[in-house]
Amino acid sequence: MSTPEARTYPITREVEDALALVRRGCDELLIEAEFAQKLARSRATGRPLRCKLGLDPTAPDIHLGHTVVLNKLRQLQDLGHTVIFLIGDFTSMIGDPSGRNTLRPPLSRAEIEANARTYFDQASLVLDRARTEIRYNSEWSEPLGAAGMIKLAAKYTLARLLERDDFAKRMRENQPIAMHELLYPLMQGYDSVALESDIELGGTDQKFNLLVGRELQRHYGQEPQCILTMPLLEGLDGVEKMSKSKGNYVGITEPPFEMFGKVMSISDEQMWRWYDLLSMRSNEEIARLRREAQGGRNPRDIKVLLAQEIVARFHSARAAEQALAEFEARFRGGAAPEDMPEVVLVADDGAIGIAALLKQAGLAPSTSEAVRNIEQGGVKIDGQKISDRALRLGTGTFVVQVGKRKWARVTVS
């Protein structure tokens, strides 16, 4: 695919269905008409599309929010296309400035390699490992050398680079922008040239970098890649993006029951958002479930299907069945779990406030969140609902429950 093909291919029903699946849940698909032609050409010629996702291994652990784009890649795999899992071992040494208003310290080579191994092992729980092409951008970036870097930089202007929101913001706020940061979008774009990418995926914060890839491909005489950006997944609270620091996440390596319970805790409205972004069910299946919910089927039953699907993907079908059985036994029967964590807290004056207790026991990410749970009637002490946010507990041992899935046996000493 060194030059664009001028021939127009017919858009069949199969191509329309594939396009609808790829479009589901995405933020933007640019340019949709171009991508429809790529799909049609692929179907007519039998040549799979090259679908690229570049990831800088800046952290080793991922949660469901990270898998949104991986799920879309898996859908493309299941449509018969080639997925390129690109590990940015070279670009990690620069540090992606996307969405940042400060310099990011570059990672060491050892950190990059360790994170990359762990990240792909976890990503393989979503992707088909046997059908995934793993590449490292140091393959073509390091051989460029100084002369190659200068030639590459000549293909883009400083004015265009400074159009980026984060660069523009830092300029306005007199924050420093290091010269190496300006190279990052160019190096990411050059990855698309080296891989002859047909479509590149990324989060909404990556749009600028992905567009640079299109522009550089034109400079090198290639057909420009299409761009698919995926939205950020809201966490368990349904408001903030999923984040470990906010305590509203579902880790993909969490135990099956904990994962199952967290999915069951999301709102009925949020459930459909998660179906669109996380489920591998077809559009037709999800539309049928929506009709059943509108027709009177209990949304809880539909949420169970989602929880089982997610647990089965990251553990096994057997683990999903066991998680459902345990969930039913605990929460429909009102039984407290036998394996709840044991927590010991020290009260300097012989008593501790209920909100502080919930935070220190790990049952709420913050005091304000603890207060919110109390005010909404979601906190029980020894089976009794607590409504007084000013309550103080003296020394003793208490079974504390927050919501339907958080329990702890707390000893105040």
How many Cα atoms sit within 13 Å of 292 on the Cβ side? 14
On whether the CB atoms of residues 177 and 193 are closer than 8 A, the answer is no
220 within a domain of the structure (yes/no): yes
Number of domains observed in the structure of the chain: 3
191 within a domain of the structure (yes/no): yes
Beta-carbon neighbour count of residue 290 at 10 Å?
A: 14
186 within a domain of the structure (yes/no): yes
Least reliable range by pLDDT among 25-34, 349-358, 369-378, 396-405? 396-405
- Domain co-membership, 91 together with 172: yes
- Domain co-membership, 291 together with 394: no
Helix (H, G, I), strand (E, B) or coil at 175: coil
249 within a domain of the structure (yes/no): no
244 within a domain of the structure (yes/no): no
Q: Is the pLDDT of residue 42 over 50?
A: yes
Q: 205: which 2 tokens?
A: 């914060």
Higher-confidence residue of 224 and 384: namely: 224
The predicted structure's pLDDT at residue 334: 58
Residue entry with tokens 């990503």: 123
- Domain co-membership, 274 together with 403: no
- Domain co-membership, 266 together with 384: no
- Domain co-membership, 169 together with 50: yes
372 within a domain of the structure (yes/no): yes
Give the CA diameter of the chain. 81
- Domain co-membership, 300 together with 374: no
Confidence bin at 226 (pLDDT 50/70/90)? very high
Antiparallel, parallel or unpaired: β 351-353 and 406-412: unpaired
How far is Cα 88 from Cα 280, in angstroms, rounded to an integer?
A: 27
- Give, rounded to a whole angstrom, the gap between the first and last alpha carbons of the chain: 70
- Domain co-membership, 319 together with 365: no
- Domain co-membership, 212 together with 122: yes
Confidence bin at 44 (pLDDT 50/70/90)? very high
Classify residue 40 by its DSSP letter.
Answer: H
Q: Is the pLDDT of residue 33 over 70?
A: yes
| Cα–Cα nearest to 383, from 342, 340, 336 | 336
Q: What is the pLDDT of residues 293-338, one digit of tens each?
A: 999 999 889 999 999 999 999 999 999 999 999 888 766 655 666 6
The predicted structure's pLDDT at residue 2: 47
The predicted structure's pLDDT at residue 100: 47
The predicted structure's pLDDT at residue 26: 94
- Side chain identity at residue 220, one-letter code: Y
Confidence bin at 243 (pLDDT 50/70/90)? confident
Q: Is the pLDDT of residue 9 over 90?
A: yes
Q: What is the CATH number of the domain that holds 398?
A: 3.10.290.10
241 within a domain of the structure (yes/no): no
Q: Which of 7-16, 202-211, 343-352 has the highest mean pLDDT?
A: 7-16
- Domain co-membership, 210 together with 266: no
| Cα–Cα nearest to 330, from 412, 403, 272 | 403
Among 302, 332, 362, the domain-final residue is: 332
Q: What is the CATH number of the domain that holds 147?
A: 3.40.50.620
| Cα–Cα nearest to 184, from 219, 212, 226, 151 | 212
Bridge partners for 230 per DSSP:
203
Bridge partners for 343 per DSSP:
410
The predicted structure's pLDDT at residue 336: 65
Q: 334: which 2 tokens?
A: 């009102």
- Domain co-membership, 120 together with 211: yes
Q: What is the pLDDT of residues 353-372, one digit of tens each?
A: 888 898 888 888 888 888 88
Q: Is the pLDDT of residue 406 over 90?
A: no
Domain membership of residue 39 as a residue range? 13-230
- Domain co-membership, 87 together with 188: yes
Q: Is the pLDDT of residue 1 over 50?
A: no
What interhelical angle do 145-153 and 179-195 show, nearest 10? Answer: 90
pTM of the model: 0.71
Q: What is the pLDDT of residues 259-282, one digit of tens each?
A: 998 898 888 889 999 999 999 999
Among 230, 246, 271, the domain-final residue is: 230
- Domain co-membership, 185 together with 264: no
Cis peptide before 94 (omega within 30 of 0): no
Among 332, 360, 381, the domain-final residue is: 332
359 within a domain of the structure (yes/no): yes
